Amino acid sequence: MFLKITHEDENEFLERDDISVVQTSVLNTIYEDEVFVDVETQPEFPVGIKALMTFLAKSIQYPVKAVREGIQGQVITNFIVHKDGTISDINIEKGVDSLLDAEALRVVSTMPNWNPGIEKGEPVNVRFTLPLIFRLEGNRNMRKKPLDETRAKSKRGENWR
């Protein structure tokens, strides 16, 4: 089967097999700068979610002042994972305290390149949301989103009634 495509006053005939090349070129042009939120395949930290959790656990340095003041909670970050896996445009979507927010930004900015998101078989830019949980253990005077006391004690192996 042949398709007639007019280009700059010239007539070109492409076989059906060549159409995918044209479609891919058009998709690349359309998706060049667009940032998606919902894609067929979400971006992924290299080696998966367990590796991400390990990276975060090793990288987060709980601010000393936040520990002293009992500040804890969930900082929700978002950032763009580009087609090449690089990360940029890191933001705090929902913060807890400036100390924890700053640490969340620092840690996310040190992440290695991710596997990019995929849409229609092509890598695309994706805005990704990543919550970071800052949790203190023990009997501190806690501020912001405190742990449920029952859960905190049972996590330490104590029987609480």
Q: In the chain, how many domains are there?
A: 2
Structure tokens at 152: 């905190």
Is there a contact between 46 and 114 (Cβ–Cβ < 8 Å)?
yes
160 found inside a domain: no
161 found inside a domain: no
Residues 3 and 58 in one domain: no
Residues 40 and 107 in one domain: yes
145 found inside a domain: yes
pLDDT by position in tens, the chain (length 161): 344 444 444 445 445 555 444 444 445 455 578 999 999 999 999 999 999 999 999 999 999 999 999 999 999 999 999 999 999 999 999 999 999 999 999 999 999 999 999 999 999 999 999 999 999 987 445 555 444 433 343 344 443 32
Q: How far apart are CA 38 and CA 96, in angstroms?
A: 26
Residues 84 and 130 in one domain: yes
- Domain of 132, CATH number, reads 3.30.2420.10
Residues 68 and 19 in one domain: no
User: How many alpha carbons fall within 13 Å on the CB side of residue 60?
Assistant: 20
Residues 60 and 120 in one domain: yes
Structure tokens at 9: 């006053």
User: SS3 helix, strand, coil % of the chain, rounded to 5?
Assistant: 30, 35, 35
Residues 55 and 2 in one domain: no
91: three-class secondary structure by DSSP: strand
SS (H, E, C) 13-59: EEEHHHHHHHHHHHHHHHHCCCEECCCCECCECCCCHHHHHHHHHHH
Residues 79 and 114 in one domain: yes
Q: Name the DSSP class of 44.
A: B
Residues 41 and 21 in one domain: no
Residues 6 and 57 in one domain: no
**Amino acid (one-letter) located at 64:** V
Pairing of strands 71-81, 122-134: antiparallel
Structural domain including 24 reads 1-32
Predicted model pTM: 0.67
67 found inside a domain: yes
